Amino acid sequence: MQRPFGSSSSPAKPYFTIRMREPPVRQAPTGHDRFQGYTGRLDLRLEVVSEYLHVGGGGIDVTGPQGREHAYHTFARRDGQLVIPGTSIKGAVRAVLEAISNSCVGVAGRREDAGRDHRRCQNTGALCPACRIFGTTGWRGRAHFPDAAPVGDVQAQVVKIADLWRPRPTKARKFYRSGQFRKLDPRPERNHRFLEAVPKGSVFATSLVFENASAAEMSLLLRAMGLDAARDASPTAAFWVKLGGAKPRCFGAVSFRPLALRLVGPGASLVRDLARGGSPQPVEERLREWLRETSLLHEPSWREFREQSGRPGDGYCPEGLY
Ligand SMILES: [Zn+2]
């Protein structure tokens, strides 16, 4: 059955909000000067689980039969190959991490006002968990993602969507749900636009690269990618992360699958480890161990996030204004 978000009594919204109630716990960040905690690389497969993913490259191209061409927004590319920029992945993961760790709202212009306590950290000697991990002005972060390259044959398509409006400001953190995209008549039309997008099932390869991270920080990073593990079970996607453009149109739900883990140093093996890119680790055991460490997790927000984020198939995203 086709079920829109919401009900007749509450308007259908493709998003949910997380209200931040208490001020962030701010601390001095872990330095870059010596090895402590975990340094290494978690190789990941990122799979598109919504109908489409569009990550804009800032360009416009033209398609369609001669005389009736129309413009579309291109997907990001590097050396002619489709790519998901690592900064886009980081932005999406950081937004979730901020919400589930009661951190500051790190990116301005999202039209989210979570209150004075959650304005961006100013003092590099007292940073919220997200700024300690991903950095802020004057403080280099300790986690990033390289650009994600396609695995196998990934073919982009040009897809029509109804125009998006500038979101209304909210007094909370705002996240888009994962729902189903409703296909539109492909002919050009007013108040519509075309996006180059990759379809459901497209797979990309990336890694989480981390430096001097504690187990509690690794736990936050894994959860912010939607990963969780029941006791003795493999870490799997507990929810999908939303990435790229047209999120209100149900684009951009992705799942992360951990593939391999390498850790570096400390101690005598450090130089050898660095040269080899780290020692391979039993990925499931190590991830489960990290996920058990919840001292930086803001449990009420984490529960709320999991309950509200939904999965593809949970209803159709609205076609027009909402
Ligand atoms: Zn902060």
Tell me the pLDDT tens digit for each residue of 256-315.
Answer: 999 999 998 766 566 666 677 788 899 999 999 999 999 999 999 999 888 888 655 566
For residue 175, report the distance from its CA to the centre of ligand 1, in Å: 18
CA dist., res. 43 & res. 158, Å (int) = 30
Q: Output the average pLDDT for the chain.
A: 85
Q: How far is CA 70 from CA 2, 198, 233, 261, in A?
A: 31, 19, 49, 45
- For residues 255 and 280, the answer to whether their CB atoms sit within 8 Å is no
Centre of ligand 1 to C-alpha 75, Å, is: 31
For residue 69, the CA-to-ligand 1 centroid distance in Å is: 46
Q: How far is the CA of 142 from the centre of ligand 1 (A)?
A: 14
Instruction: Summarize pLDDT for 201-233 with one digit per residue, the tens.
Output: 999 999 999 999 999 999 999 999 999 987 777
Q: Would you give the end-to-end CA distance of the chain in angstroms? A: 21
3-state secondary structure of 197: strand
Ligand 1 center from residue 94 Cα (angstroms): 11
Per-residue pLDDT band for 10 (boundaries 50, 70, 90) equals: very low
**How many A from CA of 105 to the centre of ligand 1?**
7
What pLDDT was estimated at residue 12? 57
136 CA to centre of ligand 1 in angstroms? 7
Residues ≥6 apart with Cβ < 8 Å to 118: 20, 23, 24, 103, 104, 105
Looking at residue 319, its pLDDT comes to 66
Distance from the alpha carbon of residue 174 to the mean position of ligand 1, in angstroms? 17
269 φ/ψ angles, rounded to the nearest 5 degrees: -85, 0
pTM of the model: 0.89
To which residue do tokens 């396609």 refer?
150
Distance in Å, CA 102 to ligand 1 centroid: 9
CA 26–ligand 1 middle distance (angstroms): 8
- Measured in angstroms, how far is the CA atom of residue 29 from the centroid of ligand 1? 11
Query: pLDDT tens digit string along 153-179?
Result: 999 999 988 877 666 767 777 888 777
Q: For residue 130, how far is its CA from the centre of ligand 1 (angstroms)?
A: 6
